[in-house]
Amino acid sequence: MPQALERAEGSWAWVVLLATVVTQGLTLGFPPCLGIFFTELQHEFRASNSETSWFPSTLMAMLHAGGPLCSILVGRFGCRATVMAGGVLACLGMVASSFSHTLSQLYIATGLFTGLGLCFSFQSTITVLGFYFTRRRALANALASVGVSLGITLWPLLSRHLLEHLGWRGTFLVFGGVFLHCCVCGAVLRPVATGTAPETTNGPPPPPKTPAPGCLAACGRFTLRHLAFDILWHNAGYRVFTLGVVWMVLGFLLPHVFLVPYAVRHGVDEHRAAVLVSIIGFSNIFLRPLAGLLAGRQGFASYRKYLFSLAVLLNGLTNLVCTVSADFRVLVGYCLVYSMSMSMIGALLFQVLMDIVPMDRFSRALGLCTILESISILISPPLAGFLLDSTDSNFSYVFYMSSFFLLSAALFMLGGFCALRRKKQEKQALQAKEAVPERALTGEGTDSAERQLWTETMYVTSV
């Protein structure tokens, strides 16, 4: 007996939203707490800053690089099964990492398996949320991102408490059990009825009775089918957004990894240093819904991408505060201001992508965007760790590096979006000018009723 489909914008959509909030807290809220284990792992394995930095970078890179594989699984098995499989995989990765004896084993267990499992759970819930909400999609995305804020608030406090009593191995073992809650969240993601037609391939069908294609041709078609390279090539807005975000990520994640080690190195107590990350998360609980409500207003619909670029610009300027002082009160102020820009980025990131790309292509577009982001995520913390090793652990250079990437990415996206808007306006004006003499010529020798009708049509076109 076929299963009944849920209705978009119905009552069950809010249950799905709640499951998305919890899942985002478990997945995207987890990486910022890894900085708490940075010094502990560095002493345990007697590793340098650069070597230890590969631990959070591999996990965060897989959290994004698994996008295309997640897109394939969602298309084949649905969002519910993909989220539950992700929870099991993340659990197994954390349990295996608690038995690691080298950093290489930790990279594989936590970075590969846990990162991939978190990716499956996170991206599947984001995809299904876009189908459950249409009119209130901006608000739903903002409310869902509150889960990230809750995760950033609670994960550091839980990590610090468990690290003191159980050590990092016991803490990772407990984390494995926590990630199984993703399976519970995935169980409530019922299939939803959508009005979107399935995406069709534009290419001609292969001729009949031809030999099977070679491995290279099959891989090429597979890549084009599941990665949005066609969208990247033809959609200029998606191209500007993707390149800007990939460049932005090189600096955006550095404070999440190095803020706690930076504060501890300058004499801040370890408990108070962990509280700094929780301050960022707690502030985002209130700021993200406000940012989502603001971005969801009809008057801001066409300006969301510009607001996103300005938020990235503010985020880059804020990081310069850490280069001035490492006093705890200054760092608290930095975390509060940083939360404002971070909440705007978190509330607008997926909404801007949904504005640029149609929903039937969103999963593929998100997959390509995240796999490109993963390259930046993979090299950014080790690059900053190498910078620390080369400058005798001078953390100011890390925050200078973060600000450079964020500011340049914001200026690139602002300039790109403004140029595309100007080009679109010029094209529309040119089409309107070309339409005037054509209509005037066509209207010669007609009665007054037809002239009146064509005049009204021309007025609508000019508007």
pLDDT of residue 348: 85
Q: Once rounded to an integer, what is the mean pLDDT over residues 306-315?
A: 92
Whether 373 is covered by a domain: the verdict is yes
Same domain, 448 and 381: no
Whether 50 is covered by a domain: the verdict is yes
Percent of all residues in the chain with a pLDDT value above 70, rounded to a whole number:
83
Whether 56 is covered by a domain: the verdict is yes
pLDDT of residue 4: 57
Identify the residue with better confidence: 184 or 292.
Answer: 184
Closest Cα partner for 336 from 278, 269, 295, 292? 278
Same domain, 392 and 317: yes
Domain span holding position 401: 8-193+226-425
pLDDT confidence of 402, banded at 50, 70, 90? Answer: very high
pLDDT of residue 194: 62
pLDDT confidence of 195, banded at 50, 70, 90? Answer: low
Same domain, 385 and 420: yes
Q: SS in 3 state form for the chain?
A: CCCCCEECCCCHHHHHHHHHHHHHHHHCCCHHHHHHHHHHHHHHHCCCHHHHHHHHHHHHHHHHHCHHHHHHHHHHHCHHHHHHHHHHHHHHHHHHHCCCCCHHHHHHHHHHHHHHHHHHHHHHHHHHHHHHCCCCHHHHHHHHHHHHHHHHHHHHHHHHHHHHHHHHHHHHHHHHHHHCHHHHHHHCCCCEECCCCCCCCCCCCCCCCCCCCCHHHHHHHHHHHHCCHHHHHHCHHHHHHHHHHHHHHHHHCHHHHHHHHHHHHCCCCHHHHHHHHHHHHHHHHHHHHHHHHHHHCHHHHHHHHHHHHHHHHHHHHHHHHHHCCCCHHHHHHHHHHHHHHHHHHHHHHHHHHHHHCCHHHHHHHHHHHHHHHHHHHHHHHHHHHHHHHHCCCCCHHHHHHHHHHHHHHHHHHHHHHHHHHHHHHHHHHHHHHHHHHHHHHHCCCCCHHHHHHHHHHHHHHHC
Please tell me the least confidently modeled range out of 66-75, 94-103, 134-143: 134-143
pLDDT confidence of 288, banded at 50, 70, 90? Answer: confident
* pTM score: 0.71
Same domain, 458 and 364: no
Cα 226 to chain centroid distance, Å, stands at 18
Give 24-35 pLDDT, tens digit per residue: 999 988 988 888
Same domain, 309 and 442: no
pLDDT of residue 176: 93
Give 327-382 pLDDT, tens digit per residue: 888 999 999 999 888 888 877 887 888 888 887 777 778 778 878 888 888 898 88
Contact by Cβ (8 Å): 288, 146: yes
Cα–Cα dist 417/26, whole Å: 33
Whether 211 is covered by a domain: the verdict is no
Same domain, 421 and 433: no
Same domain, 389 and 433: no
Exposure letters 360-373 (e unless 16+ CB within 10 A, then b): ebbbbbbbbbbbbb
Contact by Cβ (8 Å): 337, 374: no
pLDDT confidence of 245, banded at 50, 70, 90? Answer: very high
Same domain, 432 and 368: no
Please tell me the least confidently modeled range out of 109-113, 194-198, 349-353, 408-412: 194-198
pLDDT of residue 79: 85
- CA-based torsion, 340, 343, 349, 352: positive or negative: negative
Same domain, 241 and 373: yes
pLDDT of residue 232: 74
Whether 209 is covered by a domain: the verdict is no
Please tell me the least confidently modeled range out of 114-128, 133-147, 176-190: 133-147
Whether 200 is covered by a domain: the verdict is no
pLDDT confidence of 14, banded at 50, 70, 90? Answer: confident
Phi/psi of residue 40, nearest 5 degrees: -60, -45
Whether 220 is covered by a domain: the verdict is no
- CATH, residue 391: 1.20.1250.20
Same domain, 345 and 453: no
Percent of all residues in the chain with a pLDDT value above 90, rounded to a whole number:
21
Whether 298 is covered by a domain: the verdict is yes
Residue partners of 160: CB distance under 8 A and separation at least 6: 36, 270, 271, 274
Give 432-462 pLDDT, tens digit per residue: 777 766 555 555 444 444 444 444 433 333 3
HSE (side-chain half, CA atoms, 13 Å) at 89: 25
Same domain, 325 and 188: yes
Structural domains of the chain, count: 2
Please tell me the least confidently modeled range out of 224-233, 283-292, 299-308, 391-400: 224-233
Give 253-271 pLDDT, tens digit per residue: 888 888 888 888 888 888 8
Same domain, 326 and 436: no
Give 142-178 pLDDT, tens digit per residue: 778 788 888 888 898 899 899 988 899 999 999 999 9
Task: Tell me the β-bridge partners of 193.
Answer: 7
